[in-house]
Amino acid sequence: MQNMKLKATVLAVLGALSIVGCNSGSSSGTGTHAGASANLARTGVITGFGSVFVNGVEYQSSSATVTANGVAADESKLALGMVVKLKGSVNTDGKTGTAVDISYADELHGIVQAVAVVAGTGTLTVMGQTVNVDAATVFESKVTAITSMDMIAVGNIVEVSGYTAGDGNIYATRVEVKKAAMASGDEIELKGVIASLDSTAKTFLIGKQSVDYSAANLGDIPNGILANDMYVEVKSTQGFNSSNVLVSSKVELEGDGKKGVDVAAGEDLELEGVVTNVASPTEFTLNDQIVLLSDKTEFKHGTASSIVKGIKLEVEGTMNADHKLVADKVNLRQESNIEMSALVGAIDVAASTVTVLGQVIHVDSLTLLKDERDGIRYFSLKDMAVNDALEIHAYLDTSGNLVATKLKRESSGDNTSQLNGTVASVTGAVVVIAGVSVDLSTADLTAFSSVAPVAGTKVEVVGTFANNTLTATTIQKDD
């Protein structure tokens, strides 16, 4: 089993309730009808296919216009974890809809400069940008020797999708390793807001990355004049010079040159992402979009006081004349603090549950499903079988149910199981974690001075599961 470690809030996504009955490219949606929402704009993560799932809704996409990085494409060019802008409608069931337009553009495609990732969590530095990765970040690789986020190395070329305010920090929803290293003629790309512009030296900053535009094509820039706070894409075929400055071959305006959501006043918008600033109790910035709260705003999984920098959430509202999103609903994402790596004990497709380590895990409309074993694009509970190896991230809801935020079928597995969570109770040599009885009688307790950890301790256990008990071989603190 891969050694994994869960950190902080997990971005919970995927319309799994719809996906369990959908294994083909056809959609169960029936199109818009009376009462369906129209002219809907959404920015969110692709979380499944069958047609396309975004924010828990299955969008029929056979007639949609699809673009990927500015190039006309079809659905096959889209992938799990990509942040897309979608326009269409949602049916009254709230689970299906019709997409008219789907567009994807990466935030970053470039050279890795530093890696600080442990067990899939941490940061990558890519062309002066800090890329934050966690258990929710979808990882893919076109380099066969690189099979996990931890194996990414300095010099690798990666494409990153995620949320950013254009200030040099990216909260990655997807990281794909494109190549082991940049080759002659390759083009790399960097987006962001220009800062510290020096029109004499012909340099500026994007995040912490210095850019030399002295030889760049500025034909896309109005009057060929750059300015601070302008939102641009920098392209380079030369890479870095000896001073670690990115030598640009072209600088293009992104959209209208202003970072933000391109939605007209009066248009409805559903926006998902990370809070990048809190200005007051009634105003915060989600990614790069200012959001206003009112006494009419409805909250789920929290209140206005729960909104802090770095938290992940979803907002539904209407854009006002000042290009601020007036929130009707705010859904704060549930934090996953339980991780299991084990074999499937049972599957109930009708109930949308799997049993792992003797515990029933619920798969809901915000669970991300991913198949790493067979690479099934339209992956669902119907594709699983008893004794499949799963990695699950979950939380305990207010009804006492374990709810998965991410469920991944792994390429291989054995009877070795892993459980990360908080000790709920201790009885002699047996502790209970997420409902699982863990026998520590033969475990190495060196990390706890040879006694069982006390209730409330976060731990990581590795052992074998049989007869509804996980017999631990090792246990350590999970900080």
Percent of the chain at pLDDT > 70 equals 92
- CA quadruple 302, 308, 314, 318: dihedral sign: positive
Check pLDDT > 80 for residue 30: no
Over residues 153-183, the pLDDT tens digits come to 999 999 999 998 778 899 999 999 999 999 9
Q: What is the pLDDT of residues 365-402, one digit of tens each?
A: 678 889 999 989 888 899 999 999 999 999 998 889 99
- Residue 9 pLDDT more than 80? no
Residue of higher predicted confidence among 263 and 460: 460
Is the pLDDT score of 76 beyond 90? no
Distance of CA 219 to the CA centre of its chain: 34
Mean pLDDT of all residues in 321-337:
92
Q: Which helix (H) or strand (E) holds 135?
A: none
pLDDT at 66: 95
User: What is the Cα–Cα distance from 245 to 279, expressed in whole angstroms?
Assistant: 34
Report the alpha-carbon angle 379-389-442, nearest 5: 160
pLDDT, residue 1, reads 43
- Any residues with CB less than 8 A from the CB of 105 and at least 6 apart, and which? 68, 69, 70
pLDDT at 327 over 90: yes
Please give the average per-residue pLDDT across 216-237, as a whole number: 95
Query: 48 or 461, which is more confident?
Result: 461
**Range 112-115, long-range pairs (CB < 8 A, 24+ positions):** 112/152, 112/153, 112/154, 112/155, 112/156, 112/157, 112/158, 113/154, 114/154, 115/152, 115/153, 115/154
In this structure, the number of other CB atoms found within 10 A of the CB of residue 342 comes to 24
- Mean pLDDT score of the chain: 88
8: pLDDT strictly greater than 60: no
pLDDT in tens, 421-440: 999 999 999 999 999 999 99
pLDDT at residue 37 above 90? no
For the question of whether the overall pTM of this predicted structure is more than 0.85, the answer is no
**What pLDDT does 47 receive?**
82
Which pLDDT does position 39 carry in this prediction? 60
Percent of the chain with pLDDT over 90: 67
Amino acid 442: pLDDT: 93
Return d(Cα 69, Cα 328) in angstroms, integer.
31
Of 306, 265, 304, 272, the C-alpha closest to 289 is: 272
User: pLDDT of 299-314, one tens digit each?
Assistant: 988 899 999 998 989 9
DSSP letter at 374?
Answer: S
Q: Where are the beta strands (DSSP E) in 17-94?
A: 37-49, 52-54, 57-60, 65-68, 71-73, 83-90
As a residue count, the chain comes to 479
Domains of the chain: 108-179 (2.40.50), 188-253 (2.40.50.320), 268-332 (2.40.50.430), 338-413 (2.40.50.320), 417-477 (2.40.50.140)
